[in-house]
Amino acid sequence: MAEPRRPHLFSRIAGLARGVRPRGAWWPPRLPGRERVVRNQDAEIARIQLRILTEALDKTGGVAVHEGKGRDDSYLYRPEQVLTLADEVGRVESFFRERTEQFAGEVRTIERIGNVRRLSLPARLDAQGVPETLDELDEALGEGVVRPDHVLYVTPGGSGKLCPADEPETCGVAAPVPGLNPDAGAGRGVKVSVVDTGWWEPAGSSSTTPWLKGVHGDAEHVDPAAIHPYAGHGTFVAGVVRCLAPGTEIEVEGIMPHGGACYESDIARELNEALSDPERPQLISISAGTYTRRNLGLLTFEALSRAFDLEEGEKAPLVVAAAGNDTSTRPFWPAAYPWVVGVGSLDSGGVVSSFSNVGPWVDVYAHGRDLVNAYPVGRYVCHEPPHRGEVRRFDGIARWSGTSFATPVVTGSLAAYMAAHDVHARRAHADLVAGGRHLHDPRAGDIVALGPPFV
CATH number of the domain to which 86 belongs: 3.30.70
Compute CA 316 distance to the chain's CA centroid, rounded to the nearest angstrom. Answer: 21
Terminus-to-terminus CA distance in the chain, angstroms? 25
Q: Give ∠ CA 160-163-166 in degrees, rounded to 5.
A: 90
Domain range enclosing 20: 9-66
Reported as a single tens digit per residue, the pLDDT across 306-319 is 999 999 888 899 99
pLDDT value of residue 418: 98
299 and 409 part of one domain: yes
Q: Which of 152, 178, 195 is the last residue of a domain?
A: 152
Phi and psi at residue 147, in whole multiples of 5°? -135, 165
Other beta carbons within 10 angstroms of residue 433's beta carbon come to 14
Contact 198, 216 (CB under 8 A): no
Amino acid of residue 211 = W
Annotate 378-402 with b (16+ C-beta within 10 A) or e (fewer).
bebebbbeeeeeeebebebbbbbbb
Is 132 among the domain residues? yes
Whether this prediction's pTM lies above 0.75 is answered by: yes
SS3 110: strand
Beta strands in 228-299 (DSSP E): 249-254, 261-263, 283-286, 288-289
Reported as a single tens digit per residue, the pLDDT across 38-88 is 447 777 777 887 888 888 898 888 999 998 777 678 999 999 999 999 999
pLDDT value of residue 156: 60
| pLDDT band at residue 35 under the 50/70/90 scheme | very low
96 and 241 part of one domain: no
d(CA 371, CA 300): 32
Is 74 among the domain residues? no
pLDDT value of residue 174: 83
Lowest mean pLDDT across 26-40, 255-269, 345-359: 26-40
pLDDT value of residue 155: 64
d(CA 202, CA 257): 16
Contact 268, 304 (CB under 8 A): yes
Closest to 194 measured CA to CA, from 151, 247, 154: 154
Beta-carbon contacts of 267 under 8 Å, excluding residues fewer than 6 positions away, are 152, 195, 255, 286, 288, 300
Q: Would you call 442 exposed, middle or buried from its count of C-beta atoms within 10 A (0-12, 13-18, 19+)?
A: exposed
CATH number of the domain to which 316 belongs: 3.40.50.200
